[in-house]
């Protein structure tokens, strides 16, 4: 069977900090939930494997497709490196309240402790309420000893870097960076395939049963990057029709803003492509066939499809993600 651009059923996650924007804004099937925090769009995480929702391969899992099509689906180099494990997790996040202050291990620590990849990620702000903010890194040079002292007396946020956020802001978060998404943010997230989070502080919240969520204070100490960086926000030309907004050893992300038909040539790229629609609607044409897209859609373009054309019906803003 010939491969074609694939959509997947969203994997929805209720969270103590979640809301209803994934349903209201992105048209995800959250039902009556008022605490839906995440929609996993393309996932190879064990126990949360994406399932195709369109075309003749509907009902097939992402892992089944990789096993069958190998490099034709994800790219030859990608398959040689990762085998049947898809290396990226693509999601939307609705923060109706602040997430916990947290950190993720790098590949070395993740493999040592959990037999897992680490978790480097990036955020694209789809929608920000007035006065929304987030935390990324430290606001001054910090040592492990100073961090522990401040943490012990309950003043951790005093040394963390809080950033005011508006629509279309981008943040790159390498493993080891302390961070949290703030209240009022709807975010597109691209990350390594990992669900390992070390929760450092959770604002003393309790769940519906009165229980506090588990913290991972000791585990986090060895995972944290204590360095200070002058710039945590990714600076880019927001007026550009096409611009690279994220580049790492794990993923490369471009932002496309389209008002007319756009031809995309992927023949020199040894990877599948994932398109996330952040605004607008239209169609993706490949060969003699086409597939519609709308706000909130995430579409995997198999490696074997070298060229597509994107026909926007309304101004369309897309993230274009590949594996290096």
Q: What is the mean pLDDT of each run of 10 residues along the chain (324 residues)?
A: 94 97 98 97 97 97 98 98 97 97 95 93 98 97 95 94 98 98 98 94 80 88 96 97 97 98 97 98 95 98 97 98 97
CA distance 174 to 218: 20
Q: Can you give the pLDDT at residue 207?
A: 73
Please report the pLDDT score of residue 51 as a whole number: 98
Q: CATH top-level class for 242-322? A: mainly beta
Ramachandran area for residue 31 (φ above 0: left; ψ -120 to 50: alpha; else beta): left
* Pair 16, 35: CB distance under 8 Å: yes
Return the pLDDT at 297. 98
Place of tokens 């993720």: 104
In the chain, residues under CATH classification 2.60.120.10 are 6-221, 242-322
CATH of domain 6-221: 2.60.120.10
pLDDT at 166: 98
Considering the candidates 113, 177, 199, 264, report the single residue annotated as catalytic.
199
Q: Of 297, 258, 319, whose CA–CA distance to 26 is shortest?
A: 297
**Is 162 tagged catalytic?**
no
Say if residues 103 and 144 touch (Cβ distance below 8 Å). Answer: no
Question: Smallest Cα–Cα separation from 16: which of 124, 92, 94, 89?
Answer: 94
Predicted pLDDT of residue 81? 97
pLDDT at site 212: 83
d(CA 161, CA 179): 9
How far apart CA 30 and CA 10 sit, in angstroms, is: 10
């Amino acid at each position: 069977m010939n491969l074609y651009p694939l959509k997947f059923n969203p994997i929805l996650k209720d969270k103590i900090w979640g809301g209803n924007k994934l349903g209201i804004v992105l048209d995800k099937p959250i039902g009556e939930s008022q605490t839906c925090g995440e929609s996993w769009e393309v996932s190879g995480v064990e126990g949360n494997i994406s399932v195709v929702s369109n075309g003749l391969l509907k009902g097939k899992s992402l892992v089944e497709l990789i096993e069958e099509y190998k490099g034709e689906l994800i790219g030859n180099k990608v398959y040689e490196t990762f085998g049947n494990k898809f290396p990226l997790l693509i999601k939307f996040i609705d923060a109706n309240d602040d997430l916990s202050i947290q950190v993720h291990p790098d590949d070395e620590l993740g493999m040592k402790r959990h037999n897992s990849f680490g978790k480097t990620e990036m955020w694209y702000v789809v929608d920000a309420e007035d006065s929304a903010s987030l935390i990324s890194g430290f606001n001054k040079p910090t040592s492990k000893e100073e961090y522990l002292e401040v943490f012990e007396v309950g003043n951790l946020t005093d040394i963390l870097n809080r950033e005011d956020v508006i629509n279309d802001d981008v943040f790159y978060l390498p493993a080891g960076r302390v961070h949290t998404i703030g209240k009022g943010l709807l975010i597109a997230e691209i990350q390594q395939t990992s669900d390992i989070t070390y929760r450092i502080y959770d604002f003393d919240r309790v769940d519906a049963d009165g229980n506090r969520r588990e913290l991972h204070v000791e585990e986090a100490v060895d995972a944290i990057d204590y360095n200070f960086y002058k710039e945590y926000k990714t600076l880019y030309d927001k007026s550009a029709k096409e611009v690279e907004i994220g580049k790492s050893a794990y993923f490369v992300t471009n932002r496309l803003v389209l008002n007319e038909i756009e031809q995309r040539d992927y023949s020199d790229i040894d990877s599948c492509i994932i398109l996330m629609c952040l605004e607008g609607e239209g169609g993706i044409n490949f060969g003699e066939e086409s597939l519609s897209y709308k706000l909130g859609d995430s579409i995997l373009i198999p490696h074997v499809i070298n060229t597509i054309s994107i026909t926007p019906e309304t101004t369309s803003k897309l993230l274009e993600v590949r594996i290096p």
